[in-house]
């Protein structure tokens, strides 16, 4: 169950940490708050190099958020083939792709009006 008392910034920070723990690539945060009729406030988008790494990223995010905030996602989708897994924390939706699937769908360009923050990684 998603807890309401965790701030978006705290949850984003924990999600990013979970991604970095297993070396997720190309981390972008899209701020959707200024765009009308969006389903959430933020997208966090990242990718892995294989379905194994995509699953590892998703598991790392869920474990870290559960441990730090005692929070579980409202919904998880796409785990069967691990090409694009969506983790829904209600106001923050995390998209974990395999690189070629991310390039194909290019959801960042669909939300081109969003303020985008790229997280620099050192690996």
Q: Mean pLDDT, 10 residues at a time, over the chain (123 residues)? A: 75 97 97 93 97 97 96 94 96 97 95 94 84
Say if 58 falls within a structural domain.
yes
Find the angle CA(64)-CA(47)-CA(101) to the nearest 5 degrees. Answer: 140
Q: Could you tell me the residue range of the domain that residue 37 belongs to?
A: 8-119
Find the angle CA(92)-CA(25)-CA(73) to the nearest 5 degrees. Answer: 25
Say if 3 falls within a structural domain.
no
Task: Specify the pTM.
Answer: 0.93
CATH number at residue 22: 3.30.460.10
Say if 105 falls within a structural domain.
yes
Indicate the number of domains in the chain.
1
Say if 91 falls within a structural domain.
yes
Say if 63 falls within a structural domain.
yes
Say if 1 falls within a structural domain.
no
94 phi and psi angles, rounded to 5 deg: -105, 130
Give dist(CA 59, CA 117) in Å, integer.
23
pLDDT score recorded for residue 121:
87
């Amino acid at each position: 169950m998603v807890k309401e008392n965790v701030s978006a910034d705290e949850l984003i920070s924990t999600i990013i940490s979970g991604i970095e723990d297993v070396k997720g690539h190309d981390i972008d945060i899209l701020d959707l708050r200024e765009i009308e009729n969006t389903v959430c406030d933020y997208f966090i988008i990242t990718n892995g190099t294989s379905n194994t790494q995509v699953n590892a990223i998703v598991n790392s995010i869920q474990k870290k958020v559960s441990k730090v905030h005692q929070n579980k996602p409202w919904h998880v989708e796409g785990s069967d083939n691990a090409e694009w897994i969506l983790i829904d924390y209600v106001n923050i939706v995390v998209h974990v792709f395999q690189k070629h699937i991310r390039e194909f769908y290019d959801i960042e360009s669909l939300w081109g009006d969003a303020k985008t923050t790229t997280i620099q990684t050192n690996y």
